[in-house]
Amino acid sequence: MLLTTTVLTNVEYKVLGIVIGNKVRAVHLGKDIVAFLKNLVGGEVKEYSDLLKSVRQSAVDEMIEEAEKLGANGIMGIQFSSSQIASGMAEIIAYGTAIKI
């Protein structure tokens, strides 16, 4: 169970700790050039959108794996943070509180 809420009412649960998934990915140089050209004319830059979707899912998967190692069957208070490490390179961090219901 993945939740963005930080409050569960009428449910008994045990907090197991913070879990984090962190991924850094770079876009291929060719795609970076295409994205730069699209930036000049405007519109969605699909190369970066696809990169961020992929990196976000990988970070979530890593966070879930960490929670499962703790014996959790849920994560609540999930949040995301992102940053640009360099041109065409993105870091996504997914974090939350692992719980056992």
- Comparing 59 with 7, the larger pLDDT belongs to 59
Question: For residue 87, is pLDDT > 90?
Answer: no
Domain ranges of the chain: 14-100
Distance CA 86, CA 1 (A): 34
pLDDT tens digits, residue range 18-69?
Answer: 999 999 877 655 555 655 665 666 666 677 777 788 889 999 999 999 999 9
Task: Name the superfamily (CATH) of residues 14-100.
Answer: Hypothetical protein apc22750. Chain B (3.30.110.70)
Q: How far is CA 81 from CA 23, 75, 90, 94, in A?
A: 11, 16, 11, 7
- Please answer whether residues 35 and 22 qualify as being in contact, where contact means their C-beta atoms are separated by less than 8 angstroms: no
pTM of the model: 0.79
What is the DSSP code (8-state) at residue 12? -
Mean pLDDT of 86-92: 75
Distance CA 24, CA 90 (A): 6
- Please answer whether residues 66 and 22 qualify as being in contact, where contact means their C-beta atoms are separated by less than 8 angstroms: no
- Comparing 88 with 71, the larger pLDDT belongs to 71
